[in-house]
Amino acid sequence: MPETLSYFLMSWLDPSLLLIVAVGTFAGVYAGAIPGISVTMAVSVLISFTFSWDVNAALAMMVGVYCGGVYGGSRTAILLNIPGTPAAVATAFDGYPLAKLGEAGKAIGISTVVSVIGGYIGIAILAVGAPMVSGIALQFAPRDFLLLAMIGLLLVGGLSGGSLAKGIFAAALGVLIGLVGLDNLTAQPRLTFGSVSMLGGISYIAAMIGFFGVAEALYQLRDLHIDPIKQQVSKIVPAWKEVRKYLPLSIRSSAIGVIIGALPGAGGDIAALIAYDQAKRTVKNPSRPFGKGAYEGLVAPESANNAVIGGAFVPMLTLGIPGDAVTALFIGALFIHGLRPGPMLMVDTPHLFWFIVGALVLANSLLLIIGLTGVRIFTRIMTMPRGLLIPLVILLSVVGTYTIQNSFTDVYWMLAFGVLGYFMKVYGFEPGPVILGVILGPLMDVSFRRAILSSRGDLMDFFTSFFVNPISLVLTIAFLLLILNQTPLWGRIFNRRKATAGPG
């Protein structure tokens, strides 16, 4: 036990490691706030600089950037409606309306605190229940990922602004965008129309920036004479009473984040969207209507996407299976330093496990300090005249999109999606379902085909398999219940019975 504690506290007690984690967290926050600079990109760039470093120093830097980057995307999501990272897409749904109401400072303060809470919950589950959670994640078959993706697509009802038909149309458009490029299983071109530049597919980050950032900027051009909103930044740190009010929702959303994070291939974007929808369905008396500046709509995704970090480390450290793209890079870094992730990692080098847990706790603690500083400078963005702010938004969008692959093609797609998103906003279509379709479409496509292959093409075996495995059965029941909940006829019948029953 004393030896374990010494490894856990190594990054806290060694001044050089403490500084490395602090610098990494700071850099991650501000890199995550830049549209197009994803956490994966930031960590991948770091690996090239840490080849010659000691393994502890390299992991400390990467852990700091990971924790800071996931949180950092919320800054521009709240202030500019441009999610800095894919994990912050759901944060923009209520974060940006809060900024438009003049409450950007409070929104950033609450998002910081619940992000740290979510991070702590994810790390606690990593430290205590890693083998158990990873065992459940390992049992997920292709059919279960298919069900998970289909359940995710049913979120369109909660993200479509009240019109299910418009939500389904937007999600279908997103799925179509997500399937452009080479087929993941056969490498055959799909929807490329003979264009070589489309073989690599359409970057969903370019779609995200276009549909959220540029579309909003173009929409704001309709009236440049509105006075800038004066932001309330006198009280950034939320009162304990407010934190306690949102604590149950933060814990529930963090649990979702840990589970999604432990699933190979899933990530913070899916976790945040599912947590947002869960909050929209379960919170009875939100502070405001969802999509209009509800703090609950900010708490749920920010808790979930930071809890994903702890969840994603679970299969990586115990099974050698990355929970997301960033932990895949961690596996590469461990190989570079002569270590082999997998079941024997915790047996042969248990000190490394506890060092990573300690560094995660330190980075999460520093995130609270770094996240609550510099907020006044950030919120001044919203007080700029629109004639200056809108060109800045479009410039950030162009730069951020270009840096994804140093490709002007991505910029053209982003601008095209921005124009399309503008007309969608004019006619009442929300961008959320489109991005949801872009993210979940490829996962659903690959999972369905792998599930069919595992059933050897037997459709009867394919359908009966959903009711045999316990995990598949639970997901199938959840899927059917969500379908009933989304059906207008079912809603009318339920409301009629409720009205007939009366108040008693």
DSSP-derived secondary structure for 442-460: HHHHHHHHHHHHHTTT-HH
Same domain? 397 vs 459: no
384 shares its domain with 489: no
Question: Cα–Cα distance between 75 and 71 in angstroms, integer?
Answer: 8
Helix/strand/coil percentages in the chain, nearest 5: 75, 0, 25
Within a domain: residue 414?
no
**Same domain for 462 and 378:** no
Structure token digits, residue 279: 């909050």
Burial of 20 (0-12, 13-18, 19+ CB in 10 A): buried
| Cα dihedral 452, 453, 456, 461 sign | negative
- Contact (Cβ atoms closer than 8 angstroms) between residue 430 and residue 160: yes
Do 247 and 363 fall within a single domain? Answer: yes
Residue 256 and residue 334 in one domain: yes
How many domains does the structure of the chain reveal?
2
Which residue, of 404, 428, 443, is where some domain finishes? 404
Same domain assignment for residues 134 and 30: yes
423 falls within a domain: no
One-letter identity of residue 302: E
Residues 460 and 317 in one domain: no
- Whether the pTM exceeds 0.85: the reply is no
Report the SS3 class of residue 489: helix
Half-sphere exposure of 205 (CA within 13 A, CB side): 27
Tens-digit pLDDT profile for the chain (504 aa)? Answer: 566 778 788 888 889 999 999 999 998 888 777 765 667 767 766 766 776 788 888 889 989 989 998 898 888 888 878 787 778 888 988 998 998 888 888 888 999 999 999 999 999 988 887 766 656 666 777 888 888 778 777 766 556 656 777 878 888 888 898 888 888 777 888 888 888 878 888 887 788 778 877 887 788 777 666 555 556 666 777 888 888 999 999 999 999 998 888 776 667 778 888 899 889 888 888 989 988 899 999 999 999 999 999 888 887 777 666 666 677 778 777 777 777 766 666 667 778 888 989 999 999 999 999 888 877 776 666 566 767 777 877 887 888 778 767 788 888 998 999 899 889 888 888 777 887 788 778 878 888 888 888 887 777 777 787 777 788 888 888 788 777 766 655 555 545 554 555 554
257 and 394 share one domain: yes
Q: What's the domain range around 301? A: 2-142+229-404
Residue with tokens 């007939």: 500
